[in-house]
Chains A and B, each alone.
Chain A
Amino acid sequence: MQLIEAARQPILRIDARTKFALLFGVGISSLMFPPFWLEATTFVLMALLLALNRRVRTSAKFTVAFFIMLLLDWAVSLKVSGGFVALFFSLVRLGRLMLPIFMAGILLMKTTSVSEFMLSFDRMHLPNKLTIPLSVMFRFIPTISEEWHSIRDAMRFRGIGISVHSVLTKPMMTLEYTMVPLLMSTATIADELAAASLSRGLDTDTKRTCIEDVRLRSQDYLLILFSIIIALTGGML
C-alpha cells in the first residue's frame, strides 16, 4: 500500500493554481502563434512537468506526436500548394500549437485531487457556490470519457455502433442513443458523488481542513512567472 502511494507521489509537486496559470498562459501564447523557439520551450517544459508528475507515458506520446508533426511540417510544407495546404496547415501546424494546451489540460485534470482543487479555489477566494461545481467538473471530465467508452462498447455489442454512416443517415436516433445513456450515467454518478461528499461533511459551515500540503512553493512562483511572461509576450515577439 505504501509502495503504491509512494509511486503516485509527484516528483515535483506543483499547485493547482500554478496548473491553472500554465493552462491559461500556454493557451494565450499558443494562439498568438509564438516563434518556434518559444513554442519548443513551452513544449519541453510541459513534457517535463507531465513526466515529473508521473505521467511519463502521456508525456512520451505527446513528444512523439510533436516530432512527427514537426518533421511533416519541415519536409512537406515547402513542396505542397493549393487546396491541400489548408488541410495540411490546420492538421499539422495548428495541431502542433494545440499540443501544449492539451498537455496543460491533462496536467491540471489528471494530477490534481478534488481536495486540492477545493483548497486551491478557496485560496483564490472564489465563492463557495463556484468552488464545488468547478472542483467536481475538473474531476468529472476524465470520468465522462471513461463512461463514453463503455457506452460506445455497449452499443457496438448490440450492433448499433456509432459511425459516420449512422450519424449521416439517422442523426436524431444516434443522438438519442448516445445522449440518453450519457445523461443517465451522469445523473447517477452525480447523485452518488453528492451522497459520498455529504456524508463526509461537505456542507458543514466550518472551515475545511485538507490532508494535502497545498501551498505555493518556489517552483510554483517560477512557473506562474513563466506563464505570465509567455502570455504577455507571445504576440509581440
Chain B
Amino acid sequence: MSTKTNKLKTKDLIVAGAFAALYVVVLFAVVTVMGFVPILYLIAPFVNSIILGCIYMMYVTKVPKFGAILILAAAVGLLTSTGGVWVSLIWCLALGIVAELIVRAGKYKSKKSYIFSYVVFACSSMSPFWMLAYAKPAFIQSCEAYYGADYAATLDKFTPSWILLVLIGIAMLGGLIGGLVGSKLLKKHFQKAGVV
C-alpha cells in the first residue's frame, strides 16, 4: 500500500470505481427488496447504512487519499439521481465534502475520523427518498385519479414532510452502527489477510 503520496493514482481511481459499483448495487438491492413492504421501505435507510458501512470502511482504508470519498459521493449521487431526483446528486456531493473534511482532519489515519465521517456519509443512503419530497404532489394526484380521494388522503397522512428528517436520523444511527461493525470486520478479516 503506497501511502507516501496523498494524490490519487490511476490504480486508486479503478478501485474507487469498483467500490462505488458495489456500494450502489447493495444500496439499490436493499431498497428494492424492502420496497415490497411499505413499513420496511421506510427503515431501508437504517438497514442500508449498517450494511454499506463495511463497504465504506473497506474503501476508505484501501484508498486513504484526498478525493476518494468525493468520487464515491459523485458516483452514488449520479446513480441515485437517475430517477430524476436532482436533489440527491447535490445532497450526496455535500455529504461527500463534509465526510472528506472530517477524514482530512484525522489526517487520513484516524479510525475514529473514518467512523465519524461515515455517520455523515451514511445519510446518502436515504437519497432515493428525496423522491418523497420531490414527486409527492404528482404521486398523490395520480393516486387520486386512479384510486379515489380516500386512498390519496391516507397516503398523504403516512408521508408527512418531516418524514425526511426521521429518515436522515435513522440513517445516521445506522451509520454509527455500520461504521463500528465495518471497522470490526475489517480488523477481523482483511487486515490479517493483507488486503488493505
Interface residues of A (CB under 8 A from B): 23-24, 27-33, 77, 85-87, 89-91, 93, 101, 105, 129-130, 132-138, 140-141, 143-145, 148, 172, 175-176, 179-180, 182-184, 186-191, 193-194, 197-198, 202-203, 231, 235
A-B contact count (CB 8 A): 153
| Shortest distance from the beta carbon of A166 to any chain B beta carbon, whole Å | 14
Q: Does chain A have a CB within 8 A of B135?
A: yes
Inter-chain contact B82/A183, CB cutoff 8 Å: no
Inter-chain contact A137/B24, CB cutoff 8 Å: yes
Q: Which residues of B contact A176 (CB under 8 A)?
A: 185
Inter-chain contact A32/B135, CB cutoff 8 Å: yes
Inter-chain contact A203/B10, CB cutoff 8 Å: yes
Contact A133 B138, CB 8 Å, known A23-B82, A180-B189: no
Contact A194 B84, CB 8 Å, known A33-B138, A136-B17, A183-B55: no
| Shortest distance from the beta carbon of A85 to any chain B beta carbon, whole Å | 6
From DSSP, what is the main secondary structure of chain A's interface residues? helix
Q: CA A235 – CA B139 in complex, angstroms?
A: 11
| Shortest distance from the beta carbon of A59 to any chain B beta carbon, whole Å | 20
Q: Does chain A have a CB within 8 A of B78?
A: yes
- Taking residues whose C-beta sits less than 8 angstroms from the other chain, chain B's interface range is 35 or more
| Shortest distance from the beta carbon of B25 to any chain A beta carbon, whole Å | 5
Inter-chain contact B55/A179, CB cutoff 8 Å: yes
Inter-chain contact B13/A136, CB cutoff 8 Å: yes
Q: CA A189 – CA B190 in complex, angstroms?
A: 15
Contact A175 B20, CB 8 Å, known A133-B71, A133-B75, A194-B14: no
Q: Which single member of A90, A91, A140 contacts B21 (CB below 8 Å)?
A: A140
Q: CA A132 – CA B81 in complex, angstroms?
A: 20
Q: Which single member of A133, A141, A180, A235 contacts B13 (CB below 8 Å)?
A: A133
Contact with A along B25-49 (1 / 0, CB 8 A): 1000000000110100000000000
Q: CA A33 – CA B139 in complex, angstroms?
A: 7
Most central of A23, A140, A203 by chain B CB within 10 Å: A140
Q: Which single member of A85, A145, A172, A190 contacts B14 (CB below 8 Å)?
A: A190
Q: CA A225 – CA B19 in complex, angstroms?
A: 33
Inter-chain contact A129/B71, CB cutoff 8 Å: yes
Q: CA A190 – CA B141 in complex, angstroms?
A: 46
Closest partner residue, chain A, to B68 (CB atom): A133
Q: Which residues of A contact B142 (CB under 8 A)?
A: 33
Q: Which single member of B71, B131, B190 contacts A31 (CB below 8 Å)?
A: B131
Q: Which residues of B contact A28 (CB under 8 A)?
A: 83-84
Q: CA A193 – CA B15 in complex, angstroms?
A: 9
One of B98-106, B110-118, B143-151, B164-172 at the interface: B143-151
Q: Which residues of B contact A191 (CB under 8 A)?
A: 15
Q: Which residues of A contact B78 (CB under 8 A)?
A: 134
| Shortest distance from the beta carbon of A169 to any chain B beta carbon, whole Å | 16
Contact A32 B138, CB 8 Å, known A132-B17, A183-B55, A183-B190: yes
| Shortest distance from the beta carbon of A92 to any chain B beta carbon, whole Å | 11
Inter-chain contact B10/A190, CB cutoff 8 Å: no
| Shortest distance from the beta carbon of B163 to any chain A beta carbon, whole Å | 16
Q: Which residues of B contact A186 (CB under 8 A)?
A: 18-19, 22
Q: CA A136 – CA B190 in complex, angstroms?
A: 23
